[in-house]
Amino acid sequence: MHEISRSLESIKVRDKEFEVYLKDSDIQQRVATIAEEINKEYKSKNPLFIGILNGSFMFASDLMKTVNIPSEIAFIRMSSYKGMSSSGAAKQVLGLQENVFGRHLILIEDIIDTGITMAQVINFFQERGPKSIKVATLLLKPEKLEKNLKLDFVGFEIPEKFVVGYGLDYDGHGRNLKDIYQLKGE
Ligand code: IMP
Ligand code: MG
């Protein structure tokens, strides 16, 4: 399977030290494999990919480079309720322009942690009458998952530790990193 490359490379993002956890080449290989599965499964379904911003932008971009079937892509974002910190507060889906009725949707997310965000996104789309909804997430933290979600395409299952890079941020920083880094120590 996908062996996780470890190295001594470490990096500072804001005030914290991170070390390489998933190398760019391993990510690329896995993302291409997922895209090939989608090519087979959605051959004549003209799927509409829905990328969830900001975190999924790199995954969505690399995934689409190997997708070679007729398809479309759109992006949404979730409103954030920072300051209020009532975790699990209802967030809203922003920015959808496309009509999703009768469409085969593939939701693209960077990471699923508790699953609360994804459960809200799925509810939002379910109410709009798509033909099907599947989820592609690059990362999943299975130990943290609280919601009963059907996850169709999962890049890597990872432990509970905080990660950054390849679209994922720490306090808004680190999204540009090619590799994925894990918080050092603890
Ligand atoms: P959930 O609603 O708990 O599944 O949280 C998902 C969101 O939390 C993701 O879209 C990320 O924005 C953020 N998140 C969760 N874990 C991490 C992490 O390790 N690094 C960066 N962001 C994370
Ligand atoms: Mg996200």
Give the CATH number for residue 37.
3.40.50.2020
Pocket of ligand 1 (CB under 6 A): 55, 110-118, 162-164, 168
User: What is the average pLDDT across 68-79?
Assistant: 97
Ligand 1 atom 9: residue of nearest CA? 111
- Over 80: is that where the pLDDT of 3 sits? no
Task: List the catalytic residue out of 24, 110, 113, 179.
Answer: 113
What is the residue range of 63's domain?
A: 24-80+91-158
Residue 180 lies in a domain: no
* Domain contains 1: no
User: Is 134 contained in some domain?
Assistant: yes
Residue of 14, 59, 113 to test ligand 1 pocket, by largest number of atoms within 8 Å of CB: 113
Alpha helices in 3-85 (DSSP H): 24-41, 57-66
Residue 108 lies in a domain: yes
Which of these ranges, 1-10, 44-53, 117-126, has the smallest mean pLDDT?
Answer: 1-10
Instruction: Tell whether 147 is covered by a domain.
Output: yes
Q: Is 56 part of a structural domain of the chain?
A: yes
Q: Is the pLDDT of residue 94 over 90?
A: yes
* Residues around ligand 2, an ion, CB closer than 5 A: 55, 110
Whether residue 81 has pLDDT greater than 80: no
**pLDDT-derived band at 88, boundaries 50, 70, 90:** low
Nearest to 117 by CA among 92, 139, 138: 92
Residue 98 CA, ligand 1 centroid: distance in Å: 26
Helical packing angle, 24-41 and 57-66, nearest 10° = 60
Please say if the pLDDT value at position 103 is more than 50: yes
Has residue 9 been placed in a domain? no
Question: Of 122, 126, 163, 160, which Cα lies nearest the Cα of 143?
Answer: 160
Instruction: State the distance from the centre of ligand 1 to the C-alpha of 130, rounded, in angstroms.
Output: 26
In total, how many domains does the chain have? Answer: 1
- The Cα–Cα gap between 105 and 36 comes to 17
Nearest atom of ligand 1 to the alpha carbon of 120: 2
**Confidence band, pLDDT 50/70/90 cuts, at residue 23:** very high
Q: Is the pLDDT of residue 142 over 50?
A: yes
Instruction: Give the per-residue pLDDT at 83.
Output: 46
Whether residue 16 is contained in a domain is answered as: no
pLDDT band at 127; cut points 50, 70, 90: very high
Binning pLDDT at 50, 70 and 90, where does residue 125 land? very high
